Each structure stands twice: as C-alpha cells, then as structure tokens.
Amino acid sequence: MSLEVKVPAVGESITEVTIAQWLKKDGDRVEMDEVIAELESDKATFELPAEGAGILRIIAKEGETIDVGATICRIEENGAGSPAPAAPAAEKASSAAAPQQAAPAAAQGGSSGETVEMVVPTVGESITEVTIASWLKKDGDHVEMDEVIAELESDKATFELPAEASGTLQIVAQQGDTIEIGATICKIIAGAGPAEANAQAAAKQDAATQQVASKSATQPAAATGYGNQTYASGTPSPAAGKILAEKGINAADVQGTGRDGRITKEDAQSAQARPAQPAAKPAAETRPAAGGNAQAVAGERNQRREKMSSLRKTVARRLVQVKNDTAMLTTFNEVDMKPIMDIRSKYKEQFKEKHEVGLGFMSFFTKACTVALQEWPAVNAQIDGNDMIFNDFCDISIAVSSPKGLVVPVIRNAESLTLDGIEKEVVRLAKKARDGKLSIEEMTGGTFTITNGGVFGSMMSTPIINAPQSAILGMHNIVQRPVAVNGQVEIRPMMYLALSYDHRIIDGRESVSFLVRVKELLEDPMRLLLGV
C-alpha cells in the first residue's frame, strides 16, 4: 500500500513552498512522525514529518518550488528498504560496536517523561506571526508549570509565554526569530532533570553525527549537493543559493536569520551586493599637491544593519496604506495657552493632593476634543466600504512613543470622564506602553487620535490618520510669541494645532469648525466646566 504525502497548509497567506533539504534519501525506511524534509516558505522554514512508516519514494527534488497541497513524496508501507552499500571492514567493526554503546543511552532516554511540544498560541484575531523578543530561561534550564519562559512580540503588543509543563526546556526557535501562530517554539521534557535532558540531547547529536559520517563514507567526495550535507551557520538553502548566484553575491557576505544562522530565501531576496572596493593608490598619489584642495577623510565610517521589528514593519505598512487609501488633508490653527497655564499654576497642588495625579495639558485637550466631536460627529466617524459609521461615544487614542516604537492606547468613553479621570487613564496607559504590557484590547477601537509632538520640540507637523479613524489632532510645542490682544501687542505662550482628516467623509467646513471649537474651549477653559 502506498501513502501519498502532500505539502501541508503552513499559513493562511502561503501558497507555495521550496524544498530546502531532504533529510532522508529515496529508498530509505522512515518511521511514523520522523522528520524527513525541511520546507521553506517566504516567511519561515518548516519540518515535514512522515505520515506513516515504510519506504520513502521522493517525487519533488531539493530546490523545487511546489504548491501547497501538491504531492511531495510517497511512503510504501510494509516495504523493505534499499540495501545499504558495503562498508569497509574497519567501518563494519565500528558499526557493530555502535549499537552496543547506543543501547544504554536509548534505555536511559526512554525512562524520561513525556516530551511536551509548545506551539505559538493564538494571541489575536488578526495576528498571524510573532517575534521572540526574549527568552527568560536558557536551553536546558528546569522550568515549572505556568512559569513565564519567554516574551513574544506581535505587531501590536508583547505577550508572556508560560510553560505548559514542568521539566527541562529545549529551545527550538531562537530569540529574534519571527514564527507563525501554531509553529513549535520549544519543547519541555516533562519530569526530566537537566542531566537527563543533556544525555538525551547528546544521544541525538551522536546519532546525527553517525548518520552524516555514514553518508560521507558511502558517497564520493565530489558529491556536494545539498542532500549530502548539513546546514551550518552562513550556509544558504537551495532556494537562497540560487537567488544569490543570480545576483552574483557571495554567501559569506550575507547575514543568515534562519535556524542556526542559515541563509533563508528571504535573506537572499533582501541581500545586496557589496560595492567594489577601489584599488589602493600608491603612497605618492595619496599626498595632495602643494596648494591643492584635496582633503583626507578622517575618522571611522562604520555601518550597522538591524532587522526591523514586527511592530516597526506593521507601523510602516499601515502609514503607507493610509496615505494611499485616504484623501488626507491638514488644517491648522493656533491656541493661546495662557488661560490653561494659569489654571495649572493656581490649582496644580490642590489637584494633585486631592486626586493623586498631576494636572497636565492632555486632559484639557482630550476633554475639548470630546465636546467638539459630539458637535461635529463626522470627525468622530469612519468609512466602512460604502457605509459611514457614526459613533455616539468618544474613544480617544493617545499616541505614545514606547521603547519598541509608536503605540496608540485608547481612553474609552472619554466624554464621560472628568479631568482627573482622563489624567489617571493617560498615566496608566503610558506606563503600560513603556513597560511593553499593553494588551490588544487596550490598543483597538479608537474613534479619534491625539498626538503630542510638542514634547519632542516639534513646532508644526501634518500627522497621519490612524486608520480606520478619519481624523487626528496634532499638538506642538509652546513658544512665547508676540500676538495682538485687544489692540495691544503682548507676549503669549502659543501652540500650533494641526488636524489631519479624510476628505472623503469630512468636509472643509466640518474640519475647520471642529478645530475652531477646540481652540475656543482651550482659550476659555471655563466653557469645559460649564458645558457651553
């Protein structure tokens, strides 16, 4: 009976894979669930286990790119394997001794507990992959059930990964790797101590070494195809090697991001050839002539390359998408901040003593925006296909610069909060952002965004809309400038405001009127208290 093995579905957006390496040869006998090949997509590398025990018949060769669902090999169940080539006498003696040495190790491995494979859990409806931000435990460490062993980073938030069993940790995916939801991230040898786990790892390494040595002994030295070697750091996969050859790039000049430093297809696609180094000039030519203008370049000219985080890549993709998908315009105005600054100077101590939180500018701006949003609902709306969705609540997104990039947590129902309630939410969310502890729920569902570039010294900017919202308010730095007040020139603390909006749903009248209303409320804060 023959069993057809097909390329499994390895991700929602992946339609084809490349056969990176066959770990078994055509005609070899394989066991159920034994890894027989490595498949490489444009995102990650996957292992292909045997779906039954029998004789392997390879259909697709190494380096070939085949569709998901296509037949990759057959397994002839209950078949006899190909006879092994004759080995020299010395090798036979060595092989005869090997089983006797391996038997105790196998017995020892069998005495350990069950091996628990941990996969990347589902962390959000729209999240398909995560990056391993850090391992909190080392390979070989003993871990306890529910102990946090790693931090996973998606394009939206950071999550903790707890151990699913007690035992010894065996790390599969390395720190910095980006892997898909459902992929194996580590293994835990349940009930095994570090010494026992190390013994099992050593036994596996010995078996792998003997397998490689056996292949080398039965094949000519000139046979250096991918199927006859193991991948080392800096070694390209077949698909990557082909791309590098077409580009004329040496593999030694490419930094591999795959397992054990292997160069993946994605690494090869993003690799660029190094510029040719100019030939060194003779010493006489490097000296400028008398009276010449040539100057020698002094100092170091080093460069470094860093891989973009998932958060940074997603922010970049969304910003470009917003620019392409919306009719974005920006309108400006300026605000005299003296009334608010006078209130803060007069009442900040009493405010902090009573509410245990400082009185900042953000609460005034948030409250003013909620009033103006309810008066001009189109600014608080969004487009969904051919429909316009209007919200009778104000969920205000606050842009926060965290160590890992820009995040936008949401203050829910800000229209119903007092100034102290808003300040407490701002402090709470900002702290969680800096600590990388924001949840998906705390960063989704906003209806309007406020961003404050003034804290970094920005005088004026055109902020980009936070999709699927339709508008964003940009605050800027406060500058003492001469302005006309009641026919007299006075020096006042002035701030520029910028409202970027989607002209598809918000007209010019609505955008300008909204910004004027915010200006009125900020320049006369008593309106916020009286609701007028």
Q: Are residues 338 and 371 in the same domain?
A: yes
Describe the strand order of the beta sheet including 129-135 as a list of residue ranges: 158-162, 148-153, 129-135, 178-180
Phi then psi for 445, rounded to 5 degrees?
A: 90, 10
Phi then psi for 323, rounded to 5 degrees?
A: -60, -35
- Asked whether residue 288 is domain-assigned, the answer is no
- Asked whether residue 302 is domain-assigned, the answer is no
Domain count across the chain: 4
> The domain spanning residue 251 has which CATH number?
4.10.320.10
**Which pLDDT tens digits describe the chain residue by residue (532 residues)?**
788 899 888 765 677 888 888 999 998 999 988 899 988 876 567 789 998 889 999 999 888 888 888 999 999 886 554 444 444 443 443 444 444 443 333 333 334 568 889 998 887 656 778 888 889 999 989 999 889 999 888 766 777 889 988 999 999 998 888 888 888 999 999 865 555 555 555 555 555 445 444 444 444 433 333 333 344 566 777 667 777 877 778 887 787 777 667 787 777 777 776 555 555 545 444 455 455 555 667 888 888 888 777 667 777 888 888 888 889 999 999 999 999 999 999 999 999 999 999 999 999 999 999 999 999 999 999 999 899 999 999 999 999 887 777 789 999 999 999 999 999 999 999 888 888 888 888 988 899 999 998 888 899 999 999 989 999 999 999 999 999 999 999 999 999 999 999 999 999 999 999 999 999 999 999 888 777 6
Describe the strand order of the beta sheet including 2-6 as a list of residue ranges: 2-6, 71-76, 54-58, 29-30
Q: Are residues 366 and 466 in the same domain?
A: yes
- Residue 503: active-site member: yes
Of 381, 410, 413, 375, the residue nearest 394 (C-alpha):
413
Q: Are residues 176 and 59 in the same domain?
A: no
- Asked whether residue 37 is domain-assigned, the answer is yes
Q: Is 400 helix (H, G, I), strand (E, B) or coil?
A: strand
Q: Which helix (H) or strand (E) holds 131?
A: strand 129-135
Q: Are residues 328 and 367 in the same domain?
A: yes
The angle that helices 419-434 and 361-375 make with each other, rounded to 10 degrees, is 110
Distance between CA atoms of 229 and 211, rounded to whole angstroms? 11
> The domain spanning residue 214 has which CATH number?
2.40.50.100
Q: Are residues 121 and 61 in the same domain?
A: no
Its domain, for residue 264, covers 231-270
Q: Are residues 250 and 336 in the same domain?
A: no
- Asked whether residue 95 is domain-assigned, the answer is no
Strand ranges, E, within 382-445: 382-384, 387-389, 396-398, 400-402, 405-407, 410-411
- Asked whether residue 94 is domain-assigned, the answer is no
Environment class of residue 12 by beta-carbon count within 10 Å: exposed (0-12), middle (13-18) or buried (19+)? exposed
- Asked whether residue 500 is domain-assigned, the answer is yes
Q: Are residues 401 and 428 in the same domain?
A: yes
Q: Are residues 45 and 138 in the same domain?
A: no
Q: Are residues 239 and 130 in the same domain?
A: no
Q: Are residues 201 and 77 in the same domain?
A: no
Q: CA angle 357-361-367, nearest 5°?
A: 90
- Active-site residue, from 67, 260, 342, 507: 507
- Residue 26: active-site member: no
Q: Are residues 388 and 479 in the same domain?
A: yes
Q: Are residues 330 and 397 in the same domain?
A: yes
Q: Is 450 helix (H, G, I), strand (E, B) or coil?
A: strand
- Asked whether residue 93 is domain-assigned, the answer is no
